[in-house]
């Protein structure tokens, strides 16, 4: 597609893996947003990529990014919002700042990106927004109540935005990931990883190869009847 894709969280575990296979998503131009991203442009397997250093919690920075897309006539067709924040702490020990940081990092960023990119998608006659949630939004997990709450709220935002934007040809969905081979799982002791893997019906952690077919379906302009959904990609774990 001769269209623009915006990806946040491209320096994270799943994000890095996805960028390495970005050609498989079928976009001509890709914008990578991250506070730790090196600002540069390059070509990868025929795809033009540009990385930008942006604070996704800053209204002004997100607004300026959207204005830059409009001026360059690069209104985005799709947003993949992978960027997120987590920390650990039992509810009665969790300090207020840790709670606020995680909720804002997972929810407010989603709101700001939607607020500023939806008008551009409307001008272009449609688009796709895909948020990334987690299985713990449905199951909960000990030691991260703020993370669970933020992801559950993100799923509510997904459904509300889908209702608001469907008449403009914009489809909004969320992918709730289970345990994948990237990111936080790398900090988990091997014996705990083995126990987690044993709970998964497919007996393995997920990979970018498992995620790509789901993304291609949701991003395809011909896939026009799936919106407001939370799609679980977790190897068969029960909710």
pLDDT given at position 48: 96
pLDDT given at position 68: 97
Question: CATH code at 61?
Answer: 3.40.50.720
| CA angle (197, 203, 209) in 5-degree steps | 100
Mean residue pLDDT across the chain: 94
Domain count, the chain: 1
What is the pTM for the complete model shown? Answer: 0.95
Examine residue 239 and state whether it is found in any structural domain, yes or no.
no
DSSP 111-179: HHHHHHHHHHHHHHT-EEEEEEEETHHHH--TT-HHHHHHHHHHHHHHHHHHHHHGGGTEEEEEEEE--
The answer to whether residue 183 scores a pLDDT higher than 90 is no
The answer to whether residue 1 scores a pLDDT higher than 80 is no
Measured in degrees and rounded to the nearest 5, phi and psi for residue 33 equal -110, 130
Q: Which listed residue (147, 179, 182, 225) is catalytic?
A: 147
**22 and 96 in contact (C-beta within 8 Å)?**
no
Q: Indicate the burial class of 181 (C-beta count within 10 angstroms; 0-12, 13-18, 19 or more).
A: middle
Does the active-site annotation cover 225?
no
Examine residue 199 and state whether it is found in any structural domain, yes or no.
no
């Amino acid at each position: 597609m001769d269209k623009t894709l915006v990806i946040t969280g491209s320096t994270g575990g799943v994000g890095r893996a996805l960028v390495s296979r970005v050609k498989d998503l079928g976009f001509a131009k890709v914008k990578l947003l991250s506070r730790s991203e090196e600002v540069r442009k390059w070509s990868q397997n025929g795809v033009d990529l540009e990385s930008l250093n942006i604070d996704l919690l800053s209204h002004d920075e997100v607004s300026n990014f959207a204005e830059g897309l409009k001026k360059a006539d690069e209104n985005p067709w799709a947003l993949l919002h992978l960027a997120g924040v987590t920390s650990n702490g039992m509810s009665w020990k969790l300090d207020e700042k840790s709670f606020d940081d995680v909720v804002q990092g997972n929810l407010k960023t989603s709101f700001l990106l939607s607020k500023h990119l939806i008008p551009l998608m409307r001008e272009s006659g449609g688009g796709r927004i895909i948020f990334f949630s987690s299985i713990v939004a449905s199951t909960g997990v000990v030691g991260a109540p703020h993370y669970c709450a933020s992801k559950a709220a993100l799923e509510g935002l997904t459904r509300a935005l889908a209702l608001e934007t469907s008449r403009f040809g914009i489809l909004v969905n969320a992918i709730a990931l289970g345990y994948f081979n990237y990111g936080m799982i790398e900090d988990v002791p091997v014996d705990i990883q083995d126990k987690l893997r044993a709970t998964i019906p497919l007996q393995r952690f997920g990979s970018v190869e498992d995620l790509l077919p789901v993304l291609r379906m949701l991003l395809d302009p011909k896939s026009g009847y799936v919106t407001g959904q939370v799609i679980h990609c977790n190897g068969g774990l029960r909710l």
